[in-house]
């Protein structure tokens, strides 16, 4: 099975300890494009719990998100 990981810059407050849904909702998100399997899982398991979130960027490649 593949593992999905949410990550943030080391200087981000999100990297300092436990994170709340409110903090996740306020954070800028870089996600895969709609229709990708990864995006479907993220939409279903995580984003469905956030009433709204900040989409900073949508990319077509997971490697581009990592770099």
Q: How far apart (Å, rounded) are the C-alpha atoms in residues 35 and 39? A: 7
pLDDT at 67: 64
User: Which position has the higher pLDDT, 65 or 15?
Assistant: 15
Average pLDDT of the residues in 12-24? 92
pLDDT band at 16 (very low <50, low <70, confident <90, very high): very high
Total Cβ atoms within 10 A of residue 32: 20
pLDDT in tens, 22-67: 999 999 998 888 999 888 988 888 888 887 888 899 888 776 776 6
Question: Residue 18 in contact with residue 45, Cβ under 8 Å?
Answer: no
SS3 16: helix
Give the phi and the psi of residue 5 in degrees, each rounded to 5.
-130, 135
**pTM for the complete prediction?**
0.74
């Amino acid at each position: 099975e593949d593992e999905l990981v949410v990550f943030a810059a080391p200087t981000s407050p999100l990297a300092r300890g436990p994170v709340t849904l409110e903090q996740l909702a306020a954070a800028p998100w870089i996600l895969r494009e709609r229709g990708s399997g990864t995006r479907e899982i993220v939409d279903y398991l995580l984003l469905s719990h956030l009433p709204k979130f900040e989409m900073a960027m949508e990319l077509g490649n997971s490697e581009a998100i990592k770099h």
